């Protein structure tokens, strides 16, 4: 067995998809160039994964799931049928997605899967739960352990159970300093809240 550093080096230097020897990618799954699929992952037939993605240890991707380019999914996450992650999404370790509102053993609910959409650039924190049927806006930030039960607007910082907006996030991910936006102390971008949405300032 090759040393871990050699596996990492080979995966990093190649434009071809990399699948660790312990991972299973079923025939019929689509995996884009440059994507890395690490230890003990399972990607089912019909799943679609874009280019330059990273699936860390023990990630499951179901047949109807879609993962956009440059998305990173950390350890122990299941992306179920009906979940769509757009480009550049970050999903923290042990985050949870669902796809049925009222699951019950003995009752077939395969035709009742709800769709969940995570827009480009959004971040889902570690151990957060995203209840099915919601949309998480671009560059929103769901805090660790939060439970999202309704749609999230772009750039919103969502924390708590159930998750509520407690601030705004910059494009770079840093929380903005004021309730109505302000100038990011990390990257200098400026924003303001207008009618419940965040806009770049000046526009």
On the question of a cis peptide bond just before residue 162, with omega within 30 degrees of 0, the verdict is yes
pLDDT tens digit string along 81-121?
999 999 999 999 999 999 998 888 888 887 788 999 999 99
Q: Burial code of 59-74, b = ≥16 C-beta within 10 A, e = fewer?
A: bbbbebbbbbbbbbbb
* CATH code of the domain covering residue 78: 2.160.10.10
Our count of domains for the chain comes to 1
60 within some domain:
yes
Residue 136 three-state SS: strand
Whole-model pTM? 0.91
Which two three-digit tokens encode residue 67? 């993962």
Q: What is the pLDDT of residue 6?
A: 58
Residue 88 in domain: yes
Backbone φ and ψ for 43, nearest 5 degrees, come out as -115, 120
What is the pLDDT averaged over residues 138-149? 98
186 is a domain residue: no
- How far apart are the C-alpha atoms of 195 and 82, rounded to whole Å? 31
In this prediction, residue 102 carries a pLDDT of 81
Domain that holds residue 104: 4-170
Q: What is the pLDDT of residue 104?
A: 85
**166 occurs within a structural domain:** yes
Alpha helices in the chain (DSSP H): 4-13
Confidence of residue 8 (pLDDT cuts 50, 70, 90): low
The distance from CA 137 to its chain's CA centroid, rounded to whole angstroms, is 12
The number of beta carbons lying within 10 Å of the beta carbon of residue 184 is 20
Q: How confident is the model at residue 184 (pLDDT cuts 50, 70, 90)?
A: very high
DSSP type of residue 143: P
Q: For residue 80, give the nearest of 54, 103, 105 by alpha carbon.
A: 103
Task: Give SS3 for 152.
Answer: strand
Does the residue 182 lie in any domain? Answer: no
- According to the model, what pLDDT value does residue 89 have? 98
């Amino acid at each position: 067995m090759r040393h871990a550093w050699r596996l990492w080096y080979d995966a990093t230097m190649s434009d071809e998809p990399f699948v660790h020897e312990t991972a299973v990618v079923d025939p019929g799954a689509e995996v884009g160039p440059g994507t890395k699929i690490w230890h003990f992952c399972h990607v089912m037939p019909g799943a679609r994964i874009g280019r330059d993605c990273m699936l860390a240890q023990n990630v499951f991707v179901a047949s109807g799931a879609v993962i956009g380019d440059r998305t990173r999914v950390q350890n122990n996450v299941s992306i179920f049928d009906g979940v769509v992650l757009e480009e550049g999404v970050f999903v923290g370790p042990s985050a949870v997605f669902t796809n049925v509102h009222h699951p019950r053993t003995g009752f077939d609910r395969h035709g009742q899967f709800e769709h969940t959409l995570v827009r480009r650039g959004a971040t889902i924190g570690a151990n957060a739960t995203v209840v099915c049927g919601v949309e998480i806006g671009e560059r929103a930030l769901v805090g660790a352990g939060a439970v999202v039960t309704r749609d999230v607007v772009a750039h919103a910082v969502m924390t708590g159970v159930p998750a509520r907006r407690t601030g705004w996030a910059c494009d770079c991910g840093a929380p903005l300093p004021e309730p109505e936006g302000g100038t990011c102390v990390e990257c200098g971008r400026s924003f303001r809240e207008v009618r419940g949405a965040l806009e770049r300032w000046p526009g």
